[in-house]
Chains A and B, each alone.
Chain A
Amino acid sequence: MIYLSLFWEFLKIGLFAVGGGMATLPFLRELSVRTGWFSQDLITDMIAISESTPGPIGINMATYVGCNIAGLFGGFIATMGELLPSLIIVIIISKSLERFRNAKVVGDAFYGLRPAVTGLIAAAGISVAQVAMLQLELYKETNLLLNLVDWKKLLLFIVMFIGIRKLKWHPVVYIAIAAVVGLIFAF
């Protein structure tokens, strides 16, 4: 029963992804590798669409992946699975808010969690970059190191990255620019 396993997988993501929407990325990548339900290429489309449409990124990503795995109802099931742990945890904490806020152990756990989550997202980013920017096939055929990287894409990456850091525009602007560049220069 695909809906049941879908619900279970996203329930786990909702329970263990700490640090907001982007923190679900490593889990989604692992889900793709382990289950083969969707290809790694889908992940970049997922992020682009999630960043350029309304709504929390994490929820948009869950809905998009769910839809691609199991159709119309799959998106709904995945999102509900990811939502449920939040709902239960927040309701429990709301009942004893002060005690939780001041607990030393919570701060201590986060001291270890934050760097780990940063590392996990970095690893997910690297694997997305491998799929999107390297030309391993062409490199193996020609054995030329020059062919390993797609230079057009690397140049766009550098421009995009500087733009994002310096200008702080909304991500949807960069995504739109990148789409146009991809179209014009036939990426």
Chain B
Amino acid sequence: MFKDILEIFWKFFKMGAVTFGGGYAMLPILRREIIEKSGWMQEEEILDYYALSQGLPGIIAINVSTFIGYHHMKTPGAITAALGVVSPSIIIITAIAMFLSGFKDNVYVQHALAGISVCVIALILDAVIGMWKKGVKDVWGYIIFAVALLVSMFTRLSPVLLVIGAAIAGIIIRSVKRASETGKGAEKK
């Protein structure tokens, strides 16, 4: 039991340490470690976990790791996999944060960070375009997008409320659509 836990931890630790970017960036190494090397599950199962994880709260890479850990060893496996995949981040980022705070006043570091911040805006815009293509499909999508954007920019309303509101709006809009479609179908008969 202890040995299995250790094996899960080490596997996910390694994957956390070599994945840049999270999410789907982790898929190739998951394939190698989990399917090819260990034979813990099939590729389709991992893809299902990805689809589900995108729809769940939290970081996608963590959700997928937790699913795989649970699949292999129930709750202890789930906890171990999640802790394993975040451990490299905690170590590396803590080291950088401590290091950088000592160099923040250096003028060269400031120039470099100013350049980087411009690049970061371009990266965010790229992410927004990607999400728009996947998730904004019709006029209701445009409306919800605009409301979220404007409310977030001009009020101090918590994003928590916006997220809850958007989920409820989605459920209502789709239910009404379905109801009106079945209503039309009944009339034709």
Chain A interfacial positions (CB closer than 8 Å to B) = 12, 14-22, 24-27, 30, 33-34, 44-45, 47-60, 63-64, 67-68, 72, 75-76, 79, 82-83, 85-87, 89-91, 93-94, 97, 100-101, 105-129, 131-133, 153, 156-157, 160-161, 164-165, 170-172, 174-175, 177-183, 185-187
Report yes or no: A67 in contact with B152, Cβ–Cβ below 8 A: no
For residue B121, CB closer than 8 A to chain A, the reply is yes
Partner of A132, one of B48, B71, B117, B127: B117
CB contact under 8 A between A89 and B57, given known A79-B86, A94-B78: yes
Report yes or no: A87 in contact with B22, Cβ–Cβ below 8 A: no
Complex alpha-carbon distance, A68 and B71, angstroms: 36
Mostly helix, strand, loop or mixed at chain A's interface? Answer: helix
A-B contact pairs, 25 of them (CB 8 A): A16-B57, A21-B60, A49-B100, A54-B19, A56-B16, A59-B86, A60-B93, A75-B90, A82-B58, A87-B62, A87-B82, A90-B53, A90-B56, A108-B173, A108-B174, A115-B140, A116-B148, A119-B152, A120-B148, A125-B128, A127-B153, A170-B20, A175-B119, A178-B118, A178-B119
Partner of B113, one of A45, A117, A160: A45
Complex alpha-carbon distance, A63 and B59, angstroms: 13
Kindly state the interface size class of chain B when it binds its partner: 35 or more
Contacts of A34 in B (CB 8 A): 156
Interface residues in B18-32 (C-beta closer than 8 Å to A): 18-23, 26
Contacts of A133 in B (CB 8 A): 118, 121
Report yes or no: B116 in contact with A45, Cβ–Cβ below 8 A: yes
Report yes or no: B136 in contact with A115, Cβ–Cβ below 8 A: yes
Contacts of B86 in A (CB 8 A): 55-56, 59, 79, 83
Mostly helix, strand, loop or mixed at chain B's interface? Answer: helix
Contacts of A164 in B (CB 8 A): 122-123, 126
Report yes or no: B160 in contact with A56, Cβ–Cβ below 8 A: no
Report yes or no: B119 in contact with A174, Cβ–Cβ below 8 A: yes
For residue B186, CB closer than 8 A to chain A, the reply is no
Complex alpha-carbon distance, A68 and B104, angstroms: 12
**Among B63, B86, B126, residue most surrounded by chain A Cβ atoms (within 10 Å):** B86
Contacts of B113 in A (CB 8 A): 44-45, 48, 179, 182
Complex alpha-carbon distance, A158 and B146, angstroms: 24
Question: Which A residue sits closest to B167, measured CB to CB?
Answer: A109
Question: Which B residue sits closest to A171, measured CB to CB?
Answer: B123
Report yes or no: B171 in contact with A179, Cβ–Cβ below 8 A: no
Other A-B pairs beyond A67-B93, A75-B94, 5, CB < 8 Å = A56-B21, A72-B94, A86-B59, A132-B117, A175-B120
Distance in Å: Cβ of B111 to nearest Cβ of chain A: 5
Report yes or no: B92 in contact with A54, Cβ–Cβ below 8 A: yes
Contacts of B26 in A (CB 8 A): 56
For residue B168, CB closer than 8 A to chain A, the reply is yes
Q: Nearest 7 A-B pairs (CB), nearest first?
A: A182-B115, A112-B170, A114-B135, A119-B148, A56-B22, A116-B166, A55-B89
